[in-house]
Amino acid sequence: MGFITIERRRGRVAPTEDEWHFEAGTRSVADVVAPASVEVGRDRLRLDGQYARALVVTGDPRTVALGWLNPLIEFDEPIELSLHVLPLETGHMVSTLSRKLVQLHSSRLHDSAEGRLEDPERETAYGDAERLRDALQRGDEKVFSVSLYILLRAATPTRLDELTRRVEGTLDGMMAQSRVAYMEQDSGFHSVLPEGADRLRVPRNLDTSSLATAFPFTSGSLSMQRGVLYGTALHNRSLVIFDPFDESLENAIAVVLAKSGSGKSYFVKLMALRNLIVGVDFLVIDPEDEYRTLSEAVGGQYVRLAASSAQHINPLDLPGGSADRSEGDGLADHVADLLGWLEILLAPKGQALSPHERGLLDRALYQTYARVGITPDADTHGKAPPRLSDLAAVLAETPGELAGSLALRLERYVNGSLAGLFNHPTNVGLDGRFVVFNVQDVGRELRPLVIHMISSFVWGQIRRSFRPRLLIIDEAWSLMQHEEGGAFLAGLARRARKRYLGVVTITQDIADFLDSEHGRTVLSMSSVKLLMKHDGASIGAVVDVFGLSPGERRFLLGAEKGEGLFFALGGRAPIYVEASPLEHELVTTAPRELAVRRQRDSLAANGGAR
């Protein structure tokens, strides 16, 4: 049923009796939320079957730090806080403080004439007033009239008294003074309701800096002064504001571990969308075509890699070009990375190349680059790089059965069905601020190769410019299945910080990730970790690695979609990831919602055609 109101304006004719009865019979908000009865006592209220008591904070601590209200915000039982803030006119405050300083100085002179010692409280007040007046005159501060009230609720008077003692003890520990609002419980109750009305009027004067420390919607352990919203802390509903490139973090490496369908990609896409606004660029390796909608919405660059695709990356591209002269022998570093990639490409599954095979490939790679005029001299690195077929040709011309075997194993990737994926010159760049590499059409056995190739290509490209970027690697566990792939990912994480690069690894195969030495290395280096819903098969390893408490274990087993345990800045807290309706439309991958969207788009297109 809707709400209907009859507007009465000054000058209108008085309503008829029927209009009055109609308005009186319309259900209002008060009918929905108001208790059936209220009993007002000396020090408490009785609301239906519940008891309530209003407390007034009458004195603040002498010194306060950011988040000094957290003991109340994070109190282990529900309590209601109301903070009333009224800005005061600066000019009037300067005049008032000047008169106060005159009074205090006169008191000083009088005591000096009488031979009395200085009053410490008066001297402190004089210094505070003088500093505040100077700050007001410079425009650095403003003065606010601030009232802080607390409402407690309990089922019985005994329980209410016990809760009052606990809250008063907490306030005493914070060096704040408080009192029960005796004979003013009705006014205290209304002052805490979301009406914005201060009926008790027990204010304290605070300057801008002091008031800012009382801002109640941040978590002291997980929030930063700058950044974007990552989620809401479940224990106190405070906002988790985070900047992956903040100087307080060792690096911008993050790991997201969760089972399929728990919301891990949802979180990462939401984090990317919000960080784009503050100037962070993103490079995404997308194995399930989940980022296309988001890429289109933000004007991103979409690269599809497959055997039949017209877009290509040459794994033999040199990183950095001639601009990297100061970093030593770039060719040697690239050859070392290529040897790791070729190990995944050529070694039998579960095995490694022999030392002779690696030595032969190392020499063949140098010969391949030399044939196109590229040598360790950085001035030659701007020349067009060779292709995989050039390496195969060098191996085929090298005498010996071992070289022939390696050339034969390369044949599938040079002239066979996979030549379109690995044996073409690069024809894509990293021009956009949001670049997605779609590898959905790459078979699972080839994904470690492609992810390695893309990561190496990205690493080479970012060395050409210096700006904040985050590389998102989904299905990172596939790299961990290969020794060289895991080593490459761990090395990338180590080197990323120097290039203003962060790496976000996402995995649902938690056992493969944690069982790998390189996976544990990436995990130990990560400044940020997010654990979302797990099942009984994987929770044991997670508990051991992260040292989870029994309560945290139960939380992860029963977590709802979008809930997780967030680790950062030496702390941890359960958070909930929430998006606005527009953000949700861009980042959701729920099959039912996507089906509805496709049907809606199809109807719109057919309607437009007609």
Looking at residues 33-40, what average pLDDT do you find?
Answer: 82
Query: Residue 94 above 80 pLDDT?
Result: yes
Q: Give the HSE-up count for residue 558: Cα atoms under 13 Å, Cβ half-sphere.
A: 6
Provide the pLDDT confidence category of residue 140 given band limits of 50, 70 and 90.
Answer: confident
What are the pLDDT digits (tens) for 304-363?
988 888 898 998 988 764 344 445 567 888 898 889 889 888 888 778 888 899 999 999
Looking at residues 276-299, what average pLDDT do you find?
Answer: 90
Phi, psi of 20 (to 5 degrees): -65, -45
Looking at residues 393-422, what average pLDDT do you find?
Answer: 88
410, 392 Cβ separation under 8 angstroms:
yes
What are the pLDDT digits (tens) for 246-257?
988 888 999 998
Looking at residues 82-87, what average pLDDT do you find?
Answer: 92
Structure confidence at residue 320 (pLDDT): 60
Query: Residue 108 above 50 pLDDT?
Result: yes
Looking at residues 292-300, what average pLDDT do you find?
Answer: 91
Structure confidence at residue 40 (pLDDT): 92
Q: How far is CA 537 from CA 265, 425, 511, in A?
A: 21, 44, 9
Query: Residue 576 above 80 pLDDT?
Result: yes
Provide the pLDDT confidence category of residue 4 given band limits of 50, 70 and 90.
Answer: very low
Structure confidence at residue 182 (pLDDT): 94
223 against 102, higher pLDDT: 102
Using H for helix, E for strand and C for coil, what is the string for 331-365? HHHHHHHHHHHHHHHHCCCCCCCCHHHHHHHHHHH
Rg (CA), the chain: 33
Q: How far apart are CA 191 and CA 147, in angstroms?
A: 10
Looking at residues 7-18, what average pLDDT do you find?
Answer: 60
pLDDT, mean over the chain: 84
Burial class (CB in 10 A: 0-12, 13-18, 19+), 596: exposed
Burial class (CB in 10 A: 0-12, 13-18, 19+), 386: buried
Query: Residue 608 above 60 pLDDT?
Result: no
Q: What domains sit in the chain, N to C, each tagged with a CATH number?
A: 17-88+142-212 (no CATH), 240-301+431-578 (3.40.50.300), 321-414 (1.10.8.730), 580-610 (no CATH)
Provide the pLDDT confidence category of residue 195 given band limits of 50, 70 and 90.
Answer: confident
Q: Give the HSE-up count for residue 499: Cα atoms under 13 Å, Cβ half-sphere.
A: 23
Structure confidence at residue 467 (pLDDT): 85
Looking at residues 178-196, what average pLDDT do you find?
Answer: 92
Structure confidence at residue 604 (pLDDT): 73
Looking at residues 387-392, what average pLDDT do you find?
Answer: 92
Strand partners, 436: 284, 302
CB atoms within 10 A of CB 6: 10
Share of the chain above pLDDT 70, in %: 93
Structure confidence at residue 321 (pLDDT): 44
The whole model's pTM is what? 0.66
Structure confidence at residue 510 (pLDDT): 76
Query: DSSP assignment, residue 48?
Result: T
- Three-state DSSP state, 301: strand
Query: Residue 1 above 50 pLDDT?
Result: no
Q: How far apart are CA 525 and CA 493, in angstroms?
A: 8
Q: How far apart are CA 170 and CA 192, in angstroms?
A: 19
Looking at residues 54-70, what average pLDDT do you find?
Answer: 83
Structure confidence at residue 329 (pLDDT): 62
Q: Which residues contact 258 (CB under 8 A, 6 or more apart)?
A: 264, 508, 530, 531, 532, 533, 534, 564
Structure confidence at residue 5 (pLDDT): 36
283, 472 Cβ separation under 8 angstroms:
yes
Share of the chain above pLDDT 90, in %: 28
Query: Residue 237 above 80 pLDDT?
Result: no
Q: How far apart are CA 487 and CA 519, in angstroms?
A: 9
Looking at residues 547-576, what average pLDDT do you find?
Answer: 88
Query: Residue 160 above 90 pLDDT?
Result: yes
Query: Residue 48 above 90 pLDDT?
Result: no
- Chain CA centroid to CA 269, Å: 11
Q: Which residues contact 14 (CB under 8 A, 6 or more apart)?
A: none
Best CA proximity match to 221, nearest among 120, 319, 74: 74
Structure confidence at residue 272 (pLDDT): 94
Q: How far apart are CA 249 and CA 224, in angstroms?
A: 11
Strand partners, 154: 51
Query: Residue 186 above 90 pLDDT?
Result: yes
Structure confidence at residue 7 (pLDDT): 42
Strand partners, 177: 59
Torsion sign (Cα): 385, 388, 390, 394: positive
Structure confidence at residue 602 (pLDDT): 74
- Three-state DSSP state, 555: helix
Looking at residues 559-570, what average pLDDT do you find?
Answer: 89
What are the pLDDT digits (tens) for 488-530?
788 888 888 888 899 999 888 777 777 778 888 888 889 999 9
Any long-range contacts for 240-243 (C-beta under 8 Å, 24+ apart)? 240/566, 240/573, 240/575, 242/528, 242/568, 243/278
Length of the chain: 610
Torsion sign (Cα): 521, 522, 527, 531: negative
